[in-house]
Structure 1
Amino acid sequence: MGFIYLMQELPQERLGIAIGGLAMAESALEHTINYVKERKAFGKPVAAFQNTQFKIAEMHTKLEVARAYVDRCLELHLKKELDIPTAAAAKYYITDLQCEVIDECVQLHGGYGYMWEYPVARMFADSRVQRIYGGTNEIMKTIIAKAVLAD
């Protein structure tokens, strides 16, 4: 019965992983925004550079879109309608996005992004496993593809 119970709760587990991944990515962005406002390069805040502004805008937008999808998944879960492929999509997409965002945040921190004293360094180390547990993201893609291609 244990395996049956486990299989029945996979959508909830994967939604939980997605929520955690989104929260960490949002936190990394918040830390990075604060950092680039304070850190100076060439006599001005790093936030004043167009590349930094574009990167912040891109990450913010991607996270807003991801938040909307996670919120929709939460609505489905509360109505007991969250299916396996939808939860798999949330887990795969959000954990990939989490790694992408945190990698970009490390880049914006420069060398400080690798210093353990900065939260983004720890987030960078912690985020990688998200794409593995709860089923690898490759498995999530297989689940999604089977559902999409089903007749």
Structure 2
Amino acid sequence: ENLLGEEGKGFAYLMQELPQERLSIGIMAMAASQTVLQQTIDYVKERKAFGKPIATFQNTQFKLAELDTELTSAQVFMDRCLELLVDGELDTVTASKAKLLGSELQCRIVDECVQLHGGYGFMWEYPVARAFADSRVQRIYGGTSEVMKLIIGRSLIAD
């Protein structure tokens, strides 16, 4: 009497919503990446080494530029995927690409941000330490990165 949908169709219902779930994970990864990147930019402007802010060091600027460029590029793809979802055209392969890209990029960005924080990156008082721990699960739920690669790879060799 409390059945939602048709009996025996639960898995099919779940599978129909996987593209939206995977896109959601990708979008959440982008938001988390943007947050930790901005926190890191603020941090390197204040943190000093050798008498000057580490933001003035060429390596720091290069790393930040790389991360921001990757994040901007990925955001464009996420925006396109969101348009496809709204239009009812987001397919499993494209959603898998969004999830793979977003979650893997989040882990790379957070890892680099921990590095830019130095020893403070491992102190729970700094948000980047928590972001590092939180980012790891992104590559697992909603389908592991390996599963996403399998879905994408199979689509490339399908006849």
TM range (shorter): over 0.9
Equivalent residue number for residue 148 of structure 1: 156
State how 1:14-33 maps to structure 2 within 5 Å. 14-33=22-41
Equivalent residue number for residue 133 of structure 2: 125
1:9 to 2:17 alignment: yes
Equivalent residue number for residue 94 of structure 1: 102
Alpha-carbon distance in 2 for matches of 1:62, 1:16: 19
Q: RMSD of the alignment, in Å? A: 0.5
SS in 2 for 1:116: coil
Q: Which runs of 4+ in 1 moved over 2 A?
A: none
State how 1:72-91 maps to structure 2 within 5 Å. 72-91=80-99
Identity of aligned residues (%): 65
Instruction: Read off the aligned partner of 1:29 and give its amino acid letter.
Output: L
Equivalent residue number for residue 48 of structure 2: 40
Q: Which ranges of structure 2 fall in alignment gaps of 5 or more residues?
A: 1-8
Equivalent residue number for residue 61 of structure 2: 53
Alpha-carbon distance in 1 for matches of 2:157, 2:14: 25
Residue by residue over 1:38-82, the C-alpha shift from the partner in whole angstroms, topping out at 9 and shown as x without a partner, is: 000000000000000000000000000000000000000000100
TM-score, length of structure 2 as denominator length: 0.94
Alpha-carbon distance in 1 for matches of 2:129, 2:70: 21
Deviation at 1:28, TM superposition (A): 0.6
Equivalent residue number for residue 73 of structure 2: 65
Alpha-carbon distance in 1 for matches of 2:36, 2:66: 14
Which structure: greater helix fraction? 1
Instruction: Read off the aligned partner of 2:65 and give its amino acid letter.
Output: A
Instruction: Read off the aligned partner of 1:96 and give its amino acid letter.
Output: E
Deviation at 1:99, TM superposition (A): 0.2
SS in 2 for 1:135: coil
TM-score, length of structure 1 as denominator length: 0.99
Number of residue equivalences:
151
Deviation at 1:148, TM superposition (A): 1.4
SS in 1 for 2:146: helix
